Amino acid sequence: MHTESSVIFSAAEIFDGRENYNQRWRWVAAKKLLDATNAEPSKSSILEIFDDYQQAVPPVVLPADPAWLDLVFADAGTIEAVVDAVVAKYDVISGSEFRDYITGRARAIQSIAAYLATHVDVDDPDAAKKVEDLAANTLAYHLADGATRAKLLEVFSAIAAKLKGNADADYRALIRKSPLPPADIKVLSTWLTAHQAVLLKAAEEGTLLELVVEQALPFVAAKSLRGLDTKLVVLPALKSWIVGSTFSEIQADLVAAGVKIGNSWPTAEHAVSICEDGFGYHLAMILASITDLAEPVSQKLCDAVASFQRQVKNGLGDDPSNAFYEAGFADRVVAQALAAAFLGIADRSAVRRLCRKNRDAVFIALKDFPDYFMSVARELSAT
């Protein structure tokens, strides 16, 4: 029996044994997990936008400035301007800590903007009422006191006004589709439109990776990629990741390139963080947004970026390996081994057909791997 988030998982035997002298302690323990007095207090990340800036060393508290909430269309330059102004005024303020503070508020404000763009037509005469209703139905509103509720309604209304005054219907549609901040969406959308011909040519010549990644990396928030040279480190590591190189091979390449993580040489853990977090999650998320933005520009370009995004997300460069990986054999080594053993697999449907018709052959190919992958094959063979 264990808990995960707010969900309690328990075997039926625990309930059945509640009257058994030797087993009833489990039922008592399970009930304690349901006791509301043992729960942590509810919190809302939205309410954090009203928190003062607090710095431990040296100790500083700055009251939250309403101007720090005018961040709907803030980009990196806007945030830096706010940070520079505050640091110039208060020399005891840590630029890096205050940057994190402002960045967190920008992220929250822009998330609210995306939420409003999704659920409210700001051109509707009744938009103001709908915005207030949405704000009033948030956890933040229910947890807040009267004064904070009023401020929350003001923030939601101000964000809606910003959307109406600074984003047309097409721009708001892009905001709804992408997890990126509105300012970043605008930059990427403009870049795609202006460089459509160049990007299509690069896709034909096999050089799309370099062009798209160099444009996408400034928007990647992964700490694992910070400070790494794009051409000398990131691109070579990304190419190795896509062709299926092992983490130890990628780590060895990083060491050979003279890369330092802080004051240390890269370890296998650093390679895992760079590849799975930096590439497989953060970069892949940006590429997914670029794919959505490319769709109205050029379907051919959209398909090319989508294919590349899939490779970056999974760390696999060929369709058969990706098909096995996405069908449930979610280990790069296993997926590549299966792709090599069974040629001609193009998609997940083909993987399921293979498992149904040739399950014994799949089991033989999996004999050197953990039993978990046998269970995946069994499950697929039953579908």
Q: How confident is the model at residue 15 (pLDDT cuts 50, 70, 90)?
A: confident
Same domain, 52 and 34: no
Helix (H, G, I), strand (E, B) or coil at 264: strand
Locate all alpha helices (DSSP H) within 121-279, ordered by sequence. 127-136, 139-143, 146-166, 169-177, 182-194, 196-205, 208-216, 235-242, 247-256, 268-272
Structure token pair of residue 257: 């390139």
Same domain, 192 and 310: yes
Q: Which residues of 171-193 are buried (b: 16+ CB within 10 A; e: fewer)?
A: bbebbebbebbbbbbbbbbebbe
Q: How confident is the model at residue 70 (pLDDT cuts 50, 70, 90)?
A: very high
Span 142-150, average pLDDT: 96
Same domain, 150 and 242: no
Pick the closest to residue 338 from 381, 377, 383, 280 (CA basis): 377
Number of CB atoms found within 10 A of residue 140's CB: 24
DSSP string, 51-110: PPEEETTTTEEEPPPGGGG--TT--HHHHHHHHHHHHHH-TTS-HHHHHHHHHHHHHHHH
3-state secondary structure 182-207: HHHHHHHHHHHHHCHHHHHHHHHHCC
**Cβ-proximal residues to 42 (8 Å cutoff; 6+ apart), any chain:** 139, 143
Last residue of a domain, one of 148, 177, 206: 177
If one compares 342 and 15, the residue with the highest pLDDT of the two is 342
Span 78-92, average pLDDT: 96
Radius of gyration of the chain (CA): 26
Which pLDDT value is given to residue 179? Answer: 83
Structure token pair of residue 251: 């780590």
Same domain, 129 and 191: no
Domains in the chain, number? 4
Same domain, 323 and 310: no
pTM over 0.85: no
Q: Which of 5-19, 139-153, 201-215, 362-376 comes out lowest in average pLDDT?
A: 5-19
> What are the pLDDT digits (tens) for 314-363?
999 999 999 999 999 999 999 999 999 999 999 999 999 999 999 999 99
The answer to whether residue 4 scores a pLDDT higher than 50 is: no
In terms of residue numbers, what domain contains 31?
2-38
Span 153-164, average pLDDT: 97
Same domain, 336 and 248: no
Span 233-246, average pLDDT: 94
Q: What is the largest CA-CA distance in the chain?
A: 76
How far the first Cα of the chain sits from its last, in Å, is 30
Last residue of a domain, one of 314, 336, 353: 314
Q: Are 62 and 53 in contact (CB under 8 A)?
A: yes
Amino acid identity at 87: V
Span 199-219, average pLDDT: 91
Q: How confident is the model at residue 281 (pLDDT cuts 50, 70, 90)?
A: very high
Last residue of a domain, one of 137, 154, 177: 177
Q: Is the peptide bond between 181 and the residue preceding it cis, with omega within 30 degrees of 0?
A: no
| 117: alpha, beta or left? (left if phi > 0; alpha if psi -120 to 50) | alpha
Same domain, 337 and 363: yes
Q: How confident is the model at residue 1 (pLDDT cuts 50, 70, 90)?
A: very low
Q: How confident is the model at residue 310 (pLDDT cuts 50, 70, 90)?
A: very high
Which pLDDT value is given to residue 8? Answer: 55
Same domain, 54 and 75: yes
Q: How confident is the model at residue 10 (pLDDT cuts 50, 70, 90)?
A: low
> What are the pLDDT digits (tens) for 86-134?
999 999 999 999 999 999 999 999 999 999 999 999 999 999 999 999 9
The answer to whether residue 176 scores a pLDDT higher than 60 is: yes
Structure token pair of residue 100: 């994190």
Same domain, 310 and 325: no
Which pLDDT value is given to residue 294? Answer: 92
Q: If you search the block for the tokens 């459509």, which residue do you land on? A: 196
Q: How confident is the model at residue 177 (pLDDT cuts 50, 70, 90)?
A: confident
Tell me how far apart the alpha carbons of residues 307 and 319 are, in angstroms, rounded to a whole number. Answer: 9
Structure token pair of residue 47: 């309410």
Same domain, 115 and 60: yes
Same domain, 235 and 292: yes
Span 66-75, average pLDDT: 94
Query: DSSP letter at 298?
Result: -
Same domain, 173 and 207: no
